[in-house]
Amino acid sequence: MNKVKTTPKKMTPTRTQKSTFIIAGGRVIDPASGLNKVADIYVQGGKIFKIETQKLISKKKVSSSNEEIIPAWDNIVTPGLIDMHVHLREPGREDEETIVSGSEAGVAGGFTSICCMPNTQPPLDNQEAIKFVYERAKFAPGKVFCVGSVTKGQKGEELTEIGELVDAGAVAITDDGKPVSNSEVMRRALEYTKMFDIPVIDHCEDLSLSKDGIMHESFTSTVIGLKGIPALAEEIMVARNIKLAAYTGGRVHIAHLSTAGSVELVREAKKKKIKVTCEVTPHHFTLNEELIASYDTNLKMNPPLRSKKDILAIKAGLKDGTIDCIATDHAPHSIEEKDVEFELAPFGIIGLETALGLVVTELIEPGILSWSDAVAKMTVNPARILKLNLGQIKIGFPADLTIIDPKQSWTVDVSAFKSKSKNSPFGGRKLKGKVQYTIVNGKVVYSG
């Protein structure tokens, strides 16, 4: 019998890759089904057709098989990671990122699916704009889903044609980058989206409180002389959105939650069965506002880095399930834009290629989250919020899979990123947990 054809470690996608293969020997973690054990996953025609937990292919037995094998021994196999909060900049700022380059960065970070925010130039506030994204996404290595605007031109005044956006493929609506400040507009958005069972994602910020602020309002901001953004600016809007969700019965999702007060507001709302979900970014559970004393503009983001107390509250919220998802808020900016005085630099950092390593290093290794809990926040939870038929390792489901070496240590090299932008504060940082393979619809689109 022919010897097994083993997929080489540095394999790149080719036209000759077989449509039938086996991912052998990995510890399969699928929070949706509760599966957490060593298994072989059989892929055929882009879908999962068998999950074998008994008669496993061993390293010693590979010579007796003629199947193509992707080796996963000593690795973890998860559903393909899903990032529900990404800025791709196309149309308008293709010099910073494109739909294709953002997806390339995503699959390098283990994300088989990413959701792009609508604050492009022009914004994604009509059917044609949504269709444009999906046309471009046909050339991307991973799956790209579109989030439409809540208001026309993202001006916060008049609702978009929400039904038309959904028909074109929008999986949610948001004015991210800007809050929906008008409470009546937010109320109507929550009422209309009930008809389509999609969430309204909101960037929670009271602009009257945060005006001209560039970092967290604290003792540190006073000492270094930078105008602060108080935690209250976020918490007031979180409270308002929770009240509106309770009143309308609509679904609200709080983007990039960053304060202890916001965590507690969401926790109490969930106890009351209000339809609220939320996400947190890796930079908000790893970095604190004291670092801004370095004036590194890659530490400037909105919401801003908060206090150590806020970080502890966020970790507690992740641990007890208050926080549903981990999302990157990947926000590319050119070197020229960031290489200015702190006050003049734009908000935002990239995060697709460091997110997994930060989750492993900062949450899993210290025991704050189990692997299963962490994977849920990056797969099935965002899939359920957005009603995507993804995020599970299930027979008949698309073979969207991420294979991870949980013990591999690596140093962040920003210059090697697939993203067109390099604005990350994590350059030179040592992390643990590295993507080995990213598989989309049964095709290897990345190997590390």
Which tens digits make up the pLDDT trace of 202-227?
999 999 999 999 999 999 999 999 99
pLDDT value at residue 18: 66
What domains appear along the chain, each with residue ranges and CATH number?
Answer: 79-385 (3.20.20.140)
Indicate the burial class of 54 (C-beta count within 10 angstroms; 0-12, 13-18, 19 or more).
exposed
Q: What is the mean pLDDT of residues 17-22?
A: 81
Which tens digits make up the pLDDT trace of 110-161?
999 999 999 999 999 999 999 999 999 999 999 999 999 999 999 999 999 9
Helix locations, 145-230, DSSP H:
162-168, 183-193, 207-210, 219-224
- Give 197's contacts (C-beta < 8 A, 6+ positions apart): 251, 387
Q: The dihedral of CA 295, 296, 300, 305: what is its sign?
A: negative
276 beta partners:
252
Q: Compute the distance between CA of residue 251 and CA of residue 162 in angstroms, rounded to an integer.
A: 14
Q: How many CB atoms lie under 10 A from the CB of residue 389?
A: 9
C-beta separation of 111 from 83 below 8 A: yes
Q: What is the mean pLDDT of residues 71-88?
A: 98
More confident residue, 288 or 18: 288
Per-chain mean pLDDT for the chain: 94
Percent of the chain whose predicted confidence (pLDDT) is above 90 = 92
pLDDT value at residue 232: 98
Which tens digits make up the pLDDT trace of 387-424?
999 999 999 999 999 999 999 999 999 999 999 999 99
Q: Active-site positions?
A: 329
Report, in angstroms and rounded to the nearest whole number, the Rg of the chain calculated over CA atoms: 22
C-beta separation of 255 from 231 below 8 A: no
